[in-house]
Amino acid sequence: MDLFLGIDGSGPGDNKEYETAFADSFVKRFWSKGYFNKGGYLRGPGMMGSETRSLVNSGRAWVVDCIDDLNRHKTPYRLFLSGYSRGGAAVTEIAFELKGKGIKVHAMLLFDAVDQSTLSNVDTVPSNVKYCYHAMRNPAAGSREFFGNCSTSAAAGVKFEKQTFWCTHGAMGGTPWTTAGKSGKIEELTTGQKAAAVGGAGLLLGPIGGAIAQSKANTNDFTNVTLDQEKAAGPNIWKWMTDRLAIAKQDVATS
C-alpha cells in the first residue's frame, strides 16, 4: 500500500478562488492522478501563513490514523509526503514528528519549500525519511527573494537530492505566472501581495522583520524570468520529480 499526503502552498483565503489557482498544482496532481493507492490532500495556508501549524497537526493526525488502520489489518505500506512552499515546510515538520512515533517516510517530494512560518524542525530532513527530492527556484532568477528555502540538507543516511530551476516561486508549484511587465520580465509582487508578505513577516518576526521584508519587497517587483522561461520550467520540474519518484518506487521495501 502506497500512502500519500500532500500539502500545497499559500494562496487566496477564498476556497473557490484557491481551487482555481491551484487546479493543476504539482502536489494536487500527485493526489488526484492515481500515483498512490490512498491519498490525502490539504490546501495550503492563507497568504499570511498563520494556518501552517494547524495543517501540520491535521496532516500528522491523518497519517497516524491511516497507519494505525493499516497496522491493525497487517497491511504493509510505504508513506510518501509532498509539499509546496509553506506546505513543503509543513510536511518536513510532519516527518520530524512522525520520527518520534517510530514511523518511517519512504519518500518526500518537495517543491520550493520555504521557511516562512513558526515551525521549528524544517531546516534538515530527518533521518526517518529514506528518499527526499527537493526542486527549488534558482536564486539568480530573482523570485521571492525574501523567501528563504528550508529542507535544504538532510540527516545522515537520507538519500537526498536537490535541483534548481530558472522560474518563479509560482512555477515551482505548478502555478506559473501568465503575464509579464513592460520589460518582458515577470512582475511578481502586486501591491496586495507586498502587503501580505510584509504583514506576515511582521507577525512572525516583529517590527524589525516587517521593515526588512518591506525593504526587500520594494526591490523585488520584477524577477529575471521571462514568460517563455516560466512556461518551459513547469514540464522540466515535473519530469525531474516524477523520474525520481519512479526511482524511489523501485525500492519495494515497506514499513
Q: If you average pLDDT over residues 209-219, what whole number do you get?
A: 68
Q: Which of 61, 57, 32 is nearest to 45 (CA)?
A: 57
Q: Which of 99, 121, 111 is nearest to 53 (CA)?
A: 121
73-119 per-position pLDDT tens digit: 999 999 999 999 999 999 999 999 999 999 999 999 999 999 887 78
Q: Is the per-residue pLDDT at 46 higher than 90?
A: no
Q: Is the per-residue pLDDT at 241 higher than 80?
A: yes
Q: Considering the chain, what percentage of its residues have pLDDT values greater than 90? A: 76
- Rounded to 10°, the helix 52-72/86-99 angle is 50
Confidence of residue 217 (pLDDT cuts 50, 70, 90): low
Q: Specify the pLDDT at position 223.
A: 93
For the entire predicted model, the pTM comes to 0.89
Q: Enter the CATH code of domain 2-178+225-250.
A: 3.40.50
Which residues are paired to 185 by β-bridges? 226
Q: Specify the pLDDT at position 145.
A: 82
Each domain of the chain, given as residue ranges in start order, spans 2-178+225-250
